[in-house]
Amino acid sequence: MRWIWIDRIVELEKGVRCVAIKNVSLAEEHLHDHFAKDDRGPATPIHPASLIIEGMAQTAGIMVGHARDFAEKVILAKIGKATFERDIVPGQTLVFSATMDRIDEAGASTSGVVEVIDHTSGSNERLPVGNIDLMFSHIDKNMRGLAFPEHNFVFTDQFMDLMRNSGFA
């Protein structure tokens, strides 16, 4: 099973920027354990920061792959920075905005801003959540001699379907 941590791409400018959204829902199984009811109090479902980082990695990774027409296998190589200002709870929408800092034969570096839309406020105002800087590697270029499948196992049909369903064929 492959987990996709973004629901839709809303903006994609080749080699420059990608914006995606993630609707956080109480139907997501991981929220029932993070944090579950215990003897100290009721359940407090919080979307884990590690999954916010993964959502940004998927958003930025799509931008990096798209910049070279998905000809290379792109993997996350390093989290340069990840800072967070607030918790994310069910009913909110995360907005991942990734920008390309550098791309070359070896890989790419990206800067990301995460915002949240809290639908309970009655407005679509975006509130800051955090900043995430990431580095990606083009593994076919950087890990020669290792046996990788010929097909692009990073950008699976699920990711390509996400792009098509978002209007980016």
pLDDT digits 0-9 by tens, 34-84: 777 788 878 788 999 999 999 999 999 999 999 999 988 899 999 999 999
Instruction: Give residue limits of the domains in the chain.
Output: 8-26+46-151
Res. 1: pLDDT tops 50 = no
Which string of b and e fits 3-15 if b means at least 16 CB within 10 Å? eebbbebbebeee
Q: Which CATH class is domain 8-26+46-151?
A: alpha beta
Mean pLDDT within 149-168: 85
Enzyme catalytic residues: 34
Predicted local distance difference test score (pLDDT) of residue 146: 67
